[in-house]
Every structure is written in C-alpha cells, then in structure tokens.
Amino acid sequence: MKIHHAWLVVVLLVPVALLNYLDRQMLATMKASMVADIPSIASKADWGFVLGCFKWTYAALSPFGGYVADRFSRRWVITLSLFTWSMVTWWTGHVGSFHELVAARALMGLSEAFYIPAALSLISEYHFGDTRSRAVGLHQTGIYLGQILGGFAGYMADSPDHGWRWAFSACGMIGVIYALPLLAMLRDPVRPAPPVKEPGQGVVRGLLGNRNFLLLVLYFTLPAIAGWVVRDWMPEILREKFNLGQGKAGVSAILYVQIASIIGVIGGGVLADRWMRRTSHGRIFTSAIGMVLFLPALFSVGNAGTLSVAIVGLIIFGLGWGFFDCNNMPILCQIVRREWRATGYGVMNLVSISCGGFGDWAFGALRDQHVPLNLIFGAFAGVALFSVFLVLLIKPQAEPKGAAV
C-alpha cells in the first residue's frame, strides 16, 4: 500500500475523531444551562450519573465493537458508528427530562463504542515501525480539537440566539452529512490470511492469558480516571472556585490542556518512533515520561490558589497526556496478535471507561460532601506514580522496520 494512501486514511478519520469528542465534551461545558433547563437534574450526583452512564454503556460495548471490527469491514463499522451517534447527538438537543438525557447518553455510548477500536486498529494496519506513533498521534489531534471546540460550547449555550439545544442539533447533522463521503473514500486494507489457531488460543484466552496485556489494561485505566475527571468536571471546578462565567470556565478548562495535548501527542509520537530505532521499549519509555509529568500537574491543579496556577497545571497535564495517548495502541500492537488488536483495545476501553464512569460519579458525590480538591487530586497523583512502574514492567516485541503497509 502506498504511503500517501496510508496517511489519507488518517486525514479522513481526524474529523470523525473531532466529532466523536465534540459531542461528548459539549455536555460538560454547558452544564449550567442544561441543569437550568431540565429541573429534574436535582444534584451534582445526578449530573455525575449522566456523565457516568455514557461511559458505562460505552465501556460495556467496546469489546464487542472491537470484536466486530476485527472480523468485518472496519470501513463500515466506522461509518455506521459515526452516522448513529450523530443521530443521537441531534436527539440530545430535544430531550426534556433527566431520564431522557440519561437514555440519550447511554445510546451515545452504545453507538460510539464501535469507533475508536476500529479506527486505531485500521490506522495500525496501514502504519508500522517508523510511522505508527505519529499516525496514531495525528488521529488523536482530532480528539483534542473536538474537546477545544467543546470548550467554547459554554458561550453557545449562553447565547440567546442559539443555546445548548441548537448546538447538539447542529453537530448531529454535520456528522450525518460527513458519513456519506467518508464511506465513499475510506478503504479497508487487504488482510493476510489468518494464522492457524493453536489449541485453546481463542481471543479471550489469548488476551486474558497475556501478562503484558493485563499490565497494559491496568496502565491504560488508572491514569484515565484522573483524565476523565479533568475533562468532565474541570469547567465546573473552575467556575465555582474562581467565580467565572460558564463560557470562560469552559474555555479555561479545555483550551490550554488540549493545545498542550496536541503538542504532546505530536512530540511524543516523533520521540517514540525515533526511540524505537534503538530499543523495542521506545514507546513504553515515551509513555512513562508522560506519566511522570502527571505528578506536578495534578498537585498544582488540586492546590491552585489562582486561575493562572491552575492553567499551568492543566498545560503540564496536557503535555503528559499527549505522550501517554499516542502510544497506547502502538504498545498494544507490540504485545498482541494482529487479528486481536481492535478487540484488545475494546477490552481496555471496557475497564478504563467503566472506572472513569465511577470516577465521575464518585467525584460528584465527594464534592457534595465537601471533600477538599487537594486531597482528591493528590490521590490521583499517587495513582499516576504507581502507573509509571506498571508500564515499565511490560515486555514488548520488536517491530518490523518500515514506514507504512
């Protein structure tokens, strides 16, 4: 496969990744308007449940979504996922009660569960060796751009001419329209014949019996709990702590950390690809550096006395997250068989996002009980330190040399 087509696949998927996370992030930055418009949302714990129900549904369906992508056309899985979640996004703009919002978020989780495992495994089939971390990193920039745009959604919610319902409806229609050219232009690579299965080596046993895979699942999960809380709750934290408007709080919470994440994911991808020329642990070492950056970032966010200090902490967190995020699928590719990668990533999502959903709910409950932020984020920093040791225990295989297949 020519190199230019391998990069075209990534470029086509960047807008999908953007919409995938824009549709999620808007909810966090428009909280005040949505709660005011839907009075049956009675507490912070209720809002945490709204955030969590998306993650629990998304997590539960992720292994199945990965399994489908490993066995059928990833092109069709990606396109149908985009079309379906875009329709649900449009419907979210028309809900009228807490229970309808919960149902919409659950359906959003169901439909989006098929995308990330299929997209990252498709990119990994086109890219290996010298380009894999960079290709995954470029795709992840779409995620961060979606979160940045979602950070401005608070201004849209405050606008008397638009509002939060218009924002959901418009984004849903954009996704439905983009699904058509995506289906026409995206192509599945020609897959080699699957290897003869060894006795007792089905996908479940092959993954769950793999020590390195289990370590990666833990490593993928523990830092992500803090990541979800930062993504979902930081606009509200800054709004309350520094008496900001909904729009400014959303931008302050999202813009700086996501710009830093874009820098981190590009720099981390380049560093990892180059480091892999010297050692098969290159991606692991790069990811571990990102995790070390979590430590000062989480402490400063939890103890910030001014908005400027909080923003500096979020910038450091974003840089670390970029190093971490661009190497998870590439590390997975070094420890599991090719035909199990989407399923493996789905299992990682199952564990990670389930815990993230409980983290969102628990954070809301802790804040209802007035637990100090510095204690909560201090605990997150301790988890990040433990995660550094986890990733260094993984024993990866060397990758073949080359740019793209």
pLDDT of amino acid 129: 66
Overall size of the chain counted in residues = 405
pLDDT of amino acid 195: 52
Provide the CB-side half-sphere exposure for 71 (13 A, CA): 8
Asked, for residue 405, whether it belongs to a domain, the answer is no
Q: What are the structure tokens assigned to 354, written together?
A: 């389930």
Asked, for residue 236, whether it belongs to a domain, the answer is yes
Asked, for residue 107, whether it belongs to a domain, the answer is yes
Asked, for residue 327, whether it belongs to a domain, the answer is yes
Asked, for residue 398, whether it belongs to a domain, the answer is no
Asked, for residue 140, whether it belongs to a domain, the answer is yes
Asked, for residue 401, whether it belongs to a domain, the answer is no
26-62 pLDDT, tens digit per residue, is 877 777 777 777 877 767 777 777 777 787 788 888 8
Taken in order 72, 74, 76, 79, the sign of the CA dihedral is positive
pLDDT of amino acid 278: 86
Question: What is the C-alpha separation between 37 and 54, in angstroms, rounded?
Answer: 20
- Tally of domains within the chain: 1
Contacts of 390 (CB under 8 A, 6+ apart): 215, 218, 219, 222
The answer for 243, left when phi > 0, alpha when psi is -120 to 50, beta otherwise, is left
The ranges of the chain with pLDDT < 70 are 1-4, 42, 129, 190-201, 246-247, 398-405
Q: Name the phi and psi angles at 161, rounded to 5.
A: -90, -10
Asked, for residue 363, whether it belongs to a domain, the answer is yes
Q: How far is CA 179 from the centre of its chain?
A: 21
**Domain CATH for 356:** 1.20.1250.20
Contacts of 305 (CB under 8 A, 6+ apart): none
Query: Structural domain of residue 170, as residue ranges?
Result: 3-187+205-392
pLDDT of amino acid 405: 41
Instruction: Note whether 353 and 229 are within 8 A (CB).
Output: no
Give me the residue label for tokens 């990866």.
Answer: 396
